[in-house]
Chains A and B, each alone.
Chain A
């Protein structure tokens, strides 16, 4: 019995469960990871990982702009991600051929504006540390008063995906079939971009731009290596997302006295490393089963079939 509690104490540094910031981080991190992972499954299937990441960086721009004018950063994040998504849509993110360039141009402009905002902020307040905070975020400094707002934002992103689930899936796998069936493919795509923008701004403002991309893409990509069924992939992705986030928080808390700096290793490092390891393991697992059933899979890859969802052509959507 004492052995068990000693082990537990070694894993959970004293004070882990009673620390206020940790509780907030666990709660908010969990919600964010869950929402991001669910939304991320479609991001990965639709081949919009670049857009998902770019929205995060655009949110950073908005956050630094809000910081500059003294507004609540949250609204800066939300405004810039939503506007960024709209411009990407206008410039042609729908067509797989123009998507890469449209996303890139919007991102390039956003980064330029971020450079200006951060520079002006530095001149104004003489605290260039804001650059780092905005880019990398810090889960342990979330204000608990904002939690209800985060929950509402997360719920609305999930609601959009839930409402659009069937048409979204259909138009992702085959835009032609969806059009023939009367699905407003473009509107569905816009709705999905909106959900992604909300999810990304939520994760950006709470856990930073880097982790935002990590929890959006990592769990979803890993889940899609393990299963081709969209429903199952969403569940697996959510599980992976929440697990790596919580484990990352735990490790960051434990690392407080680790060398060399003895002021804790960043949460983002732990979460990102865990995400990457999970992806490598999923990749390994899928290669194992892939070799066994390669021929079977080839036959199952007929267009329109559910089995193709995980491997929709890169241009789908």
Chain B
């Protein structure tokens, strides 16, 4: 019998119609992780289309950030498969997953606060810069070329988000909203095919949130990538997400479009608890 060559088998998930002919950018099959005796995440199956803006919501402690940590291999999954494009990420570590095309931001901002805004973006761009250590030490032409290209690219990226004026400022000195934006820009600099945003609107007022929503759609439209976000702000989620998965106690309890999710009784129960009596009004 010939050696069976393993090929990823796309599952029967849902993607936006425009992406239906392309391979999904991210697919998880039976993904799960246990911590000691605790099953933190189980049977996490999700498909994200190439240019889809997807949302992952659920009550606090449901395991949403744990899912992100599984996808980015901060934790190694106990079971299941993650397919990033056509690559199976089993055995990869965090930096390898990033090189394969998955970038992320963090719930508690993780900037390089002692470095400048521009340097933060340059670090994100690290793997796209072409020269090696000997070139750097002997200051060969490839070093100068590489640095120049990287700087230009990073400044351009910053200007898309109107941040080019702050390029030389220390990242830690930026106001909160700008720091969140910088984290996104840095993630974009890694040239991802999917961007994972962990509570990007946390701590933002309605104006900033609206701006963020515009920016996220702009990112998808400009770069042609997919975005998966964790959020508690329902206006944002319902406003820009095309596909939503709802997590509770580590399991997906509902999946669908914003309208389907909004009216799903299981979702309402997860957030607000069981309806006590008949006729009691439940405010979603």
* Genuine A/B complex: no
**Using a CB–CB distance below 8 Å, which chain B residues touch chain A?**
none
